Structure 1
Amino acid sequence: MSSGTGQWFALLESNTTGTGREFCGAARARGLRPVLLTRDPDRYPYVAEDAVDTRVLDTGDLAAVVATCGSLAEDAGLAGITSSSEYFVADAARAAAKLGLPGPDGDAIARCRDKAMQRAALAGAGVPVPAWRAVFDVTEAVEAATAIGHPVVLKPVSGSGSLGVRLCGDRAETEEWARHLLGRGTDERGNTVPSRVLVEAVVDGPEFSVETFDNRVVTVVAKHTGPPPHFVETGHDIPAPVPPKTAAVLGDTALSALKALGLGWGAAHTELRWSAQGPVVIEVNPRLAGGMIPVAVRAVTGTDLVDAVVARAAGQDTAPASGGDGRGDGRLGTGSAGPAPAGERHAAVRFVMAADAGRVTSIHGLAAARGAPGVVAATAGTAVGRLVRITHSFQDRLACAVATGADTGQAGARADFAARLITIDLEKPAEPEEGNGGR
């Protein structure tokens, strides 16, 4: 089924939760025909629900991506290509460059996605980062952890959504987790993974993210995370309830990080912790934030980051993204409500977390959640028939609610109440199967 008559707008894969489907709605609202380039359309429930055109190909093969985009250009014209998936943003940028379309620096994005290369570039530019070492085997991991001092954090040098990230309190835990990470041949998307692990110092203090577009700070977000030894994000507060001076320092640090990495075109999502010495960059993600953050941002500021990303990649004019009290008329795609009522300039996102593994048999309460006070969006990130595994990552988030309020407390309470109205029933699978899939 065709989605329109305008030029094509290609999406190289998609994130599996959050705002993935919103990109298609934003493209359609701009008169474009979204088309998803994917290995497996069934990975994304919204494709069938929203009648999104697809092209099935090996999306890990840049030549195949460029060839497919070339055929789209010959068909009805191709306005642009981008990705909402962490794993494909670099190749989307590289494909855009080969086709003469707007896009960021694909090589800079690829360097940024290698967390060891990112750390080195940031440290070299004087941007505060945790003490760290990249290691190739278990012995090196233990030596690095001993030198840095336990506890330490171990994580893959490439990845997304807290997958594989773990706090290790002693030598035995470090050795065990390093062996696990180094024993993986592929990531959750089936891509070959580098045989390196990052060992880094623990940074104590509250966690934030800074959402930017080009070289402008849109907003600062406060994060809620689950209990250690994992770092799963369970909610967000927008804007972060911190003094203006603190927000300004966080924003300036994020912009310094982007400059050091050769970024600053389009959206970026920079994660930081506020330590006793001030802000420390945990990582820079050269993409739009996931976790429904863009939905919450639009609700309280009027700035539609999804629409801005689509417009930028399609070479269309878009007003500069900005935070503050500006309330624009930006769009979100299918399934999202409009801006919050006047006076409700705070928003919160709360997730329904998987408590156990199993296959989804039913989903209840979405309508009730959407009708709850202050709620602007309530969505399920899974579907009936999908297998759920406990991965201690973003994949454990099965649904979410976004709500607004007059202050952080009210917005958070509303989002939490709405999320509790959503129930997802599971049955135990007969035997182990492939899990949730990647971002």
Structure 2
Amino acid sequence: MSGRLLLLVESNTTGTGRLFARRAAELGVVPVLLSADPARYPYAAEDGLRTVVVDTSDPDRLGEAATRLAAEAPIAGVLTSSEYYVPAAAALASRLRLPGPSADAVRACRDKAEQRRVLAAAGVGVPGFAVVSTADAAVSAAATRLPVVVKPVQGSGSLGVRLCSDPDEVAEHARALLAATTNERGVATPGRILVEEYLTGAEFSVEVFGTEAVVTVAKHVGPLPAFVEVGHDVPAALPADLERELRQTAVRAVAALGLGWGAAHVELRLDGPVAKVIEVNPRLAGGMIPELVRRACGIDLVRAQVLAALGRATHPERALYGRASIRFLTTDRDGILAPDLTEAVTRAGAVPGVVETVLYRAPGEPVGPAADFRGRLGHVIAVADHPAEAAEAADRGVAALTGAITPASLDRQEALT
């Protein structure tokens, strides 16, 4: 093999994982996906991406794989687009003396309990919280602040995050979380959970690169008790004082956690005029946010992250002043995707301003209410010159896309007749 290599330690299954590999190739390096199971990433085969099977949970096996690859061609950088493998990628980059975030800072940040403690000690606003390891302790911690949010200390995509309104709900959800010994990626989970104050203010994220806030994103969250993100608007339309509060809080949080290399995705809620950090993710945002930022602002965060891994300093600068919105297709009841999805996709794509319409599921596949990001069925992206226009187009597009879902009750009735 000729050419320098960019090692990608696992990936997210949708969204930016594919883009990381494509940007690497565009920048003249060869992407190589290191994965315990490359088949979980269909884009790898579709794009002809080179894959190496290795136990990515074992630092020594990762190091050995890197050594073998280095005998073929120089390794230029190490990255991941997956929340779960940021510590492994950071540790491997450090081991190879390549650019990357502090492995220790990333490990601490990935533990939301430790993250909460560090931020609170630094004076960065966070919700009230308690770290517990039993259902009884969860109930006790919730007693004075119901309703509360109960969630794992490690996780991604709202997995396991639930609003609990009474002690029985707290106990039931706490027991379910504590009974799990591994997450959906098969990675061992700590026997601790968070019980935290429920903030009712509007939710945002700030995309930070290095030590600077790049853009503020407005979030749309689906029906409680789950916290499924069903849409984003880029950039958020905000008064100057709230914009400043969100950006400054996000940057302070990143600094307090010892980050400051590459991308960080900081999620916040407003508590009156005060921004409080829900969590800091030491990685690029998911939910197609980087694509919205590219379309609205002309800033390619995926490319910037790849450049950072290659040791080529970059400062993302805004080149456009448009607006972009995404809305995710979800359903509030059991159903099935229509055998022919063409009509719904065509109607959604015909909405003025819609630039992308994607369904994640196959025709005829059963679907149901979303408990986390895995329940999202597709998305619509719209762009415009003004925030209201982009948001309205995305709303209309996803409404048209709902025609792809047939209620399960109707499907059963048709089968009976």
- The normalised TM-score by structure 2 is 0.91
- Contact kept, 8 Å, 1:216 with 1:321, in 2: the verdict is no
Partner of 2:330: 353
Q: Which moved more, 1:113-122 or 1:72-81?
A: 72-81
Partner of 1:333: none
Q: Distance in 2 between matches of 1:154 and 1:144?
A: 10
Residue 76 of structure 1 aligns to a residue in which SS? coil
Identity %: 46
Q: Describe how 1:10-49 pairs up with structure 2 within 5 A.
A: 10-49=7-46
Q: In the TM superposition, what is the alpha-carbon distance from 1:265 to its structure 2 partner?
A: 0.5
Q: Distance in 2 between matches of 1:271 and 1:142?
A: 26
User: In structure 2, do the counterparts of structure 1 residues 116 and 357 end up closer, same or farther at CA, with 3 Å as the change threshold?
Assistant: farther
Query: Is 1:406 the equivalent of 2:385?
Result: yes
Q: Distance in 2 between matches of 1:390 and 1:66?
A: 41
Partner of 1:170: 166
Query: Is 1:294 the equivalent of 2:272?
Result: no
Q: Distance in 1 between matches of 2:191 and 2:123?
A: 28
Q: Describe how 1:15-414 pairs up with structure 2 within 5 A.
A: 15-147=12-144, 149-318=145-314, 320-323=315-318, 326-327=319-320, 345-354=322-331, 355-356=333-334, 364=342, 369=348, 372-382=351-361, 392-414=371-393
Residue 201 of structure 2 aligns to a residue in which SS? coil
User: In structure 2, do the counterparts of structure 1 residues 9 and 382 end up closer, same or farther at CA, with 3 Å as the change threshold?
Assistant: farther
Q: Distance in 1 between matches of 2:66 and 2:37?
A: 17
- Contact kept, 8 Å, 2:242 with 2:273, in 1: the verdict is no
Q: Distance in 2 between matches of 1:277 and 1:94?
A: 38
2:326 is matched by which residue type in structure 1? V
**CA offset digits 1:293-328 (Å, max 9, x no partner):** 00010111111000000110112343x0234xx24x
User: In structure 2, do the counterparts of structure 1 residues 261 and 315 end up closer, same or farther at CA, with 3 Å as the change threshold?
Assistant: same
For structure 2, the residue ranges without an aligned partner over 5 or more in a row are 409-417
Q: Distance in 2 between matches of 1:305 and 1:380?
A: 24
User: In structure 2, do the counterparts of structure 1 residues 388 and 91 end up closer, same or farther at CA, with 3 Å as the change threshold?
Assistant: farther
**CA offset digits 1:331-367 (Å, max 9, x no partner):** xxxxxxxxxxxxx611101111255377997754556
- Contact kept, 8 Å, 2:228 with 2:370, in 1: the verdict is no
Q: In the TM superposition, what is the alpha-carbon distance from 1:382 to its structure 2 partner?
A: 4.6
Q: Distance in 1 between matches of 2:368 and 2:54?
A: 27
Q: Describe how 1:409-428 pairs up with structure 2 within 5 A.
A: 409-422=388-401
Residue 182 of structure 2 aligns to a residue in which SS? coil
Q: Distance in 1 between matches of 2:39 and 2:187?
A: 18
- Contact kept, 8 Å, 1:39 with 1:58, in 2: the verdict is yes
Structure holding more helix per residue: 2
User: In structure 2, do the counterparts of structure 1 residues 366 and 106 end up closer, same or farther at CA, with 3 Å as the change threshold?
Assistant: farther
Q: In the TM superposition, what is the alpha-carbon distance from 1:376 to its structure 2 partner?
A: 3.6
- Contact kept, 8 Å, 1:362 with 1:425, in 2: the verdict is no
Q: In the TM superposition, what is the alpha-carbon distance from 1:49 to its structure 2 partner?
A: 1.6
Q: In the TM superposition, what is the alpha-carbon distance from 1:65 to its structure 2 partner?
A: 1.3
Residue 115 of structure 2 aligns to a residue in which SS? helix
- The normalised TM-score by structure 1 is 0.87
User: In structure 2, do the counterparts of structure 1 residues 43 and 302 end up closer, same or farther at CA, with 3 Å as the change threshold?
Assistant: same
- Contact kept, 8 Å, 1:360 with 1:387, in 2: the verdict is no
Q: In the TM superposition, what is the alpha-carbon distance from 1:402 to its structure 2 partner?
A: 1.6
Q: In the TM superposition, what is the alpha-carbon distance from 1:388 to its structure 2 partner?
A: 6.2
Q: In the TM superposition, what is the alpha-carbon distance from 1:185 to its structure 2 partner?
A: 1.3
Q: Distance in 1 between matches of 2:42 and 2:341?
A: 14
Greater RCO (Cα-Cα under 8 Å, separation 6 or more): 1
Q: Which moved more, 1:83-92 or 1:73-82?
A: 73-82
- Contact kept, 8 Å, 1:269 with 1:288, in 2: the verdict is yes
RMSD, aligned CA: 2.3
1:321 is matched by which residue type in structure 2? P
For structure 1, the residue ranges without an aligned partner over 5 or more in a row are 328-343, 429-439
Partner of 2:411: none
Q: Distance in 2 between matches of 1:124 and 1:393?
A: 30
Q: Distance in 2 between matches of 1:48 and 1:358?
A: 28
Residue 237 of structure 2 aligns to a residue in which SS? coil
Partner of 1:8: 5
Partner of 1:341: none
Q: Which moved more, 1:115-124 or 1:372-381?
A: 372-381
1:73 is matched by which residue type in structure 2? A
Residue 187 of structure 2 aligns to a residue in which SS? coil
- Contact kept, 8 Å, 2:19 with 2:302, in 1: the verdict is yes
User: In structure 2, do the counterparts of structure 1 residues 303 and 137 end up closer, same or farther at CA, with 3 Å as the change threshold?
Assistant: same
